[in-house]
């Protein structure tokens, strides 16, 4: 099993963090009792700028969740198609070789789901196996790769595609002035990414561009941590749940779980030389670095992705993967870890060999 390619796609509306801060201060107006707090929170997330699904000035016209979700459906199809087309082209895989299409999001809903719409838009095989995934949030990029690898293990002559679209800006709650929502207004952003995973018996037309082999995967669920992260869903849409205890949970569990995962596959942490981790935010990345003992630039790809485009939820780890494959490719034979954590609370670990 091999990750044949990873590709991202973004809306055309890009704004610096400074401009977005000014827009949000206008958006909340007199409701925002402490504008300096918002500015400090935006500065602390270390994001330089972000893409938005629609022009910034149009968000004031969104009055209902239904309006926001209609925009989500439209833009999700556009970005999902762009990302998947690029991933297929980069992998040298023909659409007819796709046996499975997984779609993940946590920022909008549709039925039929976006994966079904992509089949129509792109003329994908009519017998393709569809699996829409909702609710995994930030962890879904890593989980989707793991589920794609499960599929091609069973069908080694086929390829599986994972498409993630997250339009976090469309979940912004004007009535919610909690610190969690203020942080998310500066941290989360919009974008899409796709990954192609190929079976052992499928020949790519571009083997020289192929990525790492998937050696093993693991899911870890942490009982009774539902309050850590997720949504409160009401007629107003998605209201963020974001506990300050997430970094503590990561420091407590991630290192132990990675060590156990590696030991079960005949390795130890010192064998890992490449890391593809979900961007999270500064506190999440710092906690991950502490948990894994990574303080010598091993997470630079994740930090750079956070700085350039913000936290893209499930798409973030896929964008980090794309950057590593294009610009930071390890030496052949290098062992690596791809990992993310998210609502549940849970983690997904993928052992790679480049």
CA end-to-end distance (rounded Å), the chain: 12
Instruction: Report d(CA 36, CA 41) in Å as an integer.
Output: 9
305 is catalytic: no
Query: What is the token pair recorded at 165?
Result: 């679209």
Query: What is the token pair recorded at 73?
Result: 């459906």
Instruction: Report d(CA 225, CA 22) in Å as an integer.
Output: 35
Q: Yes or no: say if 165 and 105 are a contact pair by the CB < 8 Å rule.
A: yes
Q: Which of 138, 305, 319, 346 is catalytic?
A: 138
Residue 66, burial from CB neighbour count under 10 angstroms (0-12, 13-18, 19+):
exposed
Phi, psi of 334 (to 5 degrees): -65, 135
Instruction: Report d(CA 301, CA 321) in Å as an integer.
Output: 8
Query: What is the token pair recorded at 29?
Result: 């107006």
Q: Yes or no: say if 313 and 168 are a contact pair by the CB < 8 Å rule.
A: yes
Contacts of 76 (CB under 8 A, 6+ apart): 105, 108, 110, 114, 165, 167, 192
Query: What is the token pair recorded at 258?
Result: 């990675």
Look at residues 61, 135, 67 and name the one whose alpha carbon lies nearest to residue 105: 135
CA dihedral over 111, 140, 247, 309, signed as positive or negative: negative
Q: What is the b/e burial string over 281-313, where b = at least 16 CB atoms within 10 angstroms of the residue's CB?
A: bbbbbbbbbebbebeeebbebbbbbbebbbbbb
Residues noted as catalytic: 138
């Amino acid at each position: 099993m091999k990750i044949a390619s990873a590709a991202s796609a973004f809306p055309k509306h890009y704004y610096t963090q400074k401009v977005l801060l000014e827009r949000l201060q206008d958006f909340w107006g007199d409701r925002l009792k402490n504008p300096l707090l918002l500015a400090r929170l935006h500065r602390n997330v270390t994001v330089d700028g972000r893409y938005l699904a629609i022009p910034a000035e149009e968000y004031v016209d969104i009055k209902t969740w239904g309006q926001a979700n209609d925009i989500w459906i439209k833009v999700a199809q556009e970005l999902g198609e762009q990302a998947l087309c690029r991933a297929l082209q980069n992998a040298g895989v023909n659409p007819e070789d796709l046996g499975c299409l997984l779609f993940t999001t946590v920022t909008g809903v549709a039925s039929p789901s976006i994966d079904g719409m992509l089949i129509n838009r792109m003329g994908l095989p009519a017998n393709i196996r569809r699996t829409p995934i909702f609710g995994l949030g930030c962890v879904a990029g890593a989980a989707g790769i793991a589920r794609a690898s499960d599929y091609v293990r069973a069908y080694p002559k086929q390829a599986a595609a994972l498409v993630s679209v997250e339009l976090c800006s469309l979940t912004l709650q004007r009535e919610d002035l909690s610190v969690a929502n203020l942080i998310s207004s500066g941290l989360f952003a919009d974008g899409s990414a796709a990954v192609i995973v190929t079976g052992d018996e499928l020949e790519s037309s571009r083997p020289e561009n192929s990525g790492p082999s998937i050696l093993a995967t693991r899911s870890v669920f942490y009982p009774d941590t539902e309050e850590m992260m997720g949504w409160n869903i009401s007629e107003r849409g998605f209201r963020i749940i974001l506990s300050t205890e997430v970094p503590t949970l990561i420091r407590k569990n991630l290192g132990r779980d990675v060590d156990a995962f590696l030991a079960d596959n005949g390795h130890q942490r010192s064998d890992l030389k490449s890391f593809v981790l979900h961007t999270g935010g500064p506190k999440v990345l710092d906690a991950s670095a502490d948990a894994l003992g990574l303080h010598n630039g091993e997470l630079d790809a994740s930090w750079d992705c956070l700085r350039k485009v913000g936290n893209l939820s499930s798409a973030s780890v896929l964008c980090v993967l794309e950057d590593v494959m294009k610009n930071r490719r390890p030496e052949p034979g290098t062992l690596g870890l791809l990992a993310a954590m998210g609502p549940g609370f849970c983690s997904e670990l993928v052992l790679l060999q480049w």
